[in-house]
Amino acid sequence: NAGVMQNPRHLVRRRGQEARLRCSPMKGHSHVYWYRQLPEEGLKFMVYLQKENIIDESGMPKERFSAEFPKEGPSILRIQQVVRGDSAAYFCASSPRQGPEQYFGPGTRLTVT
């Protein structure tokens, strides 16, 4: 059973470009969570999605950030008009139901130049 997959693993974008991060949950998991880890910090919750629904986006910045988890395909975290402060590691986690176990992917490390 493959784990949580994220791609790309590393992404470099220039200021003003768009970044699209993908997450494929573990087989049988229908709940996806996105977290951001800034350098030297712990992870901060961004958004919780189920198939075709955003359940909790209390950690998402109000502008430029969006997330989706379509009926088919991976979950996408989209960052428009990236700025240097968006440079971070973005982790996706999945679970088969509401808690308690969240399994994390390897992360996408975004660098904005």
Partner 1 sequence: GEDVEQSLFLSVREGDSSVINCTYTDSSSTYLYWYKQEPGAGLQLLTYIFSNMDMKQDQRLTVLLNKKDKHLSLRIADTQTGDSAIYFCAEDTGGGNKLTFGTGTQLKVEL
Among residues 23, 48, 65, 75, the one that binds partner 1 under rule CB under 8 A? 48
Among residues 28, 39, 85, 100, the one that binds partner 1 under rule CB under 8 A? 100
**Of 59 and 74, which CB lies nearer to partner 1 in the complex structure?**
59
Among residues 7, 20, 26, 45, the one that binds partner 1 under rule CB under 8 A? 45
Q: Using an 8 Å Cβ cutoff, are 51 and 68 in contact?
A: no
Q: Is 25 in the site for partner 1 (CB under 8 A)?
A: no
Those residues whose C-beta lies under 8 Å from the C-beta of residue 31, and which sit 6 or more positions away, are 25, 48, 49, 50, 94, 95, 96, 97, 98
Dist. CA 47–CA 59, nearest whole Å: 6
Binding site for partner 1 (CB under 8 A): 4, 33, 35, 41-45, 48, 55-56, 58-59, 91, 93, 98-107
